[in-house]
Amino acid sequence: MTLEELQALVSRGPYLQWLGLKVLALEEDSIEVSATWREEWVASTRLMQTHGGILASLIDFAADFALVRRIGHGVPTIDLRVDYHRLAKPGDLLARGQVIKHGRQFSVCEAQVLQDGKLIASGRGTYITAPPQP
């Protein structure tokens, strides 16, 4: 799958469109995307921080889609762990995903969310990579 084909796939999903995802790089076992900040992401107007659910979504997307060159599409998440390291303020985010282990039944991937070069959140997901049953 090319970067352009993946961007077309991402652009078809309403939630992924809403996140403002732009695929920046796609390698055999990794992906890098940017997410365009939206005011609706604010969890606390006092702190002006981005909601943790947005960060978790970016972790899940980047980890999942790090597998796309091997599989050709997104796959179901069966486990996801997210660690929050600092508050994300208003502004675009960068997410990077990496395949850790690709298996016939399950795969493990990690992802990071960065803002202005600083680590905001990181996580690890397990994904079903077994072929669908007929």
pLDDT value of position 128: 95
Whether pLDDT at 120 is above 90? yes
pLDDT value of position 73: 82
* Percent of the chain's residues with pLDDT above 90: 84
pLDDT value of position 104: 92
pLDDT value of position 78: 97
pTM of the model: 0.93
Domain boundaries 3-128, corresponding CATH code: 3.10.129.10
Q: Which amino acid is at 44?
A: S
Q: Alpha helix (H) ranges present in the chain?
A: 3-12, 14-19, 52-65, 68-71
> Cβ distance 89 to 46 under 8 Å?
no
pLDDT tens digits, residue range 6-41? 999 999 999 999 999 999 999 999 999 999 999 999
